[in-house]
Structure 1
Amino acid sequence: MHSPDDPAGPPAFEALVADGEAAVFEGWDFGVFGDRLREAAGSWDYRDVVHGLLPGADALLDMGTGGGELLSGLSPRPGDTCATESYEPNVAVARARLEPLGIAVSAIGDDSRLPFPDARFDLVINRHESFDAREVRRILRPGGVFVTQQVGGRDLAGLNEALGAPPHDYAAWDLAAAAGEVEAAGLRVLDRREELIPAAFSDVGALVWFLRITPWQVPGFTVEGYRDRLLGLHARMASGTPLEVRAHRFLVVAERG
């Protein structure tokens, strides 16, 4: 792919857009964007939160494992570790990574029912995956813990504004809403945090690539439909001014009594 740091100068609009439309994205590792999409560190680290709970866990479920990137790196994992994934293209990627480690990956659909018996796990982790709090409570053992980091409804709102696109349809999803659902299901919230974290896109190719793999951000996005706005953003970013936005993240840690 072209780099915005090419010593020959910034690539032309059409070349960047073509790269963004053709770039391969496998699993769920946004590190492949490198400096083209930068997100500042928040006040908590999801991996560290999970690591702190691993020593007390005998049975672990990772909901929405993506390509298994995070789960495969967790140590020490319980011998009884499972994962789910709802995005069909990621299921094979996750299985290839996790099954050699003895971790079974269950493909799940839109039905919120999880394919596990009652009180199956003492630690359920969830990074950016939808959840039914009642199902989470059902599969947790008494004393078990649920950890979820969610993408909030104000996530990258500045991107939608820059494109003249409507806000996404989950704008009301925030810490208060999630914690309310968790508590209504009978779980006790132990920790809750929420932040708007600075992020930036450095070139229009990265922007197109991102929108292609996150269709919920700007539903119906096409380059042709947003060409005028993209051209304006390209001129701005090619002159050295990135598109600065804010990522919306929140964390809930809860326990089944």
Structure 2
Amino acid sequence: MGRRILITAGAAGIGRAIAERFISDGDQVAVCDADPDAVADFTAAHPDAIAGVADVTSETDMDTFLSDLEARWDGVDVVCANAGTGGPAGSVETLDYDDWQRCIATNVHGSFLTCRWAARLMKAQGHGLITMTSSTAGIFGYPLRAPYAAAKWAVIGMTKTLAMELGPHGIRVNAICPGAVEGPRMERVLERESAAAGRSVEATRAQYVKGVSMKTWVTAQDIANSIHFLASDAGNKISGQVLSIDGHTETLAP
């Protein structure tokens, strides 16, 4: 009945695009998301998929959701540790510590809890693919976005390490680095960055485009298509890689 696919933060945005790409193949898909409304909307659109409310920073939430999923599937073929948050914007001396911690927790701790579960099941079955959603902020410095950059660089380090740990067991691990992705989430980022920099949203938007060789943003579907390729037979020797889907970012500096 198809592959078994888990996507965190999978009920909306990039995660939903990934989920729907695999659903179109007839795969078994499970998503968790911290937003109950997004989960309800996803369930209405895809009643045959598994969807639950879970905060990836909560070990209790994740243990409950993943234990239930394991009881249903007894294994998993592809895990997309996709959950993340943009965090606060501002110069380092102005940042709030609680905001810093929330950004690190969602992006890093959430990936850890997801991958810890995936690694155990995949080692037992001798195969699997894990993707972690980092960002071009995970490979560049990112002025006014220190928490986000720190978190996404950490995701790269986790990816490289897990690829080494799990490779001998037939498990591949890769990081996906989206550039600026069209959609509501990026619009909120633009507003925060513009306020922190004291410039208009349109000026910030133009700055993003200027820093990309192809002079374009990307779509959630672009990200979903790339992960779908990694999960295919054509991608079965790709591991430990940091794959930027971004039109070639040259800089994130203003």
TM-score by length of 1: 0.49
Q: Which has the larger radius of gyration?
A: 1
Higher strand share: 1
Q: Which has the higher helix share?
A: 2
Q: TM-score, normalised by structure 2?
A: 0.49
Q: Which has the higher contact order (CA 8 A, sep 6+)?
A: 1
